Amino acid sequence: MTTWFISRHPGAIDWGNRQNLLIDRFEPHLDLVLIQGGDIVIGSLPVDLAAQVCARDAAYWHLSLALPFELRGVELNADDLERLGAKIEPFEIKPALTATNR
């Protein structure tokens, strides 16, 4: 089992290091080929990638924060993330059944 922290943002990586998590690998980009069942993937992934992580029997833990509009596109540091209440939340994501994928 590998715990992955996926982010290209230095502030998020610094924040992750402060959380007392046992992170095996920090990566700027998710390579789904490397994800195995039992792994934990932490990050702020697009929903389709998060669903693919879950489909591989790995866990997806989302780096969540309430980001005000004026901070969108601003590079945040670890202190900013703490002030904004950043947290890691586990999610189980799968595509919904529709008429086209039943």
What is the residue extent of each domain of the chain? 3-91
How many CB atoms are closer than 10 A to CB 39?
Answer: 19
Write out the chain's pLDDT in tens, 102 residues: 999 999 999 999 999 999 999 999 999 999 999 999 999 999 999 999 999 999 999 999 999 999 999 999 999 999 999 999 999 999 999 988 776 766
Cβ-based burial of 82 (10 A; exposed 0-12, middle 13-18, buried ≥19): middle
Can you give the pTM of this predicted structure?
A: 0.90
Which candidate, 31, 27, 24, 29, places its Cα nearest to that of 13? 27
CA 71, chain centre distance (Å):
19
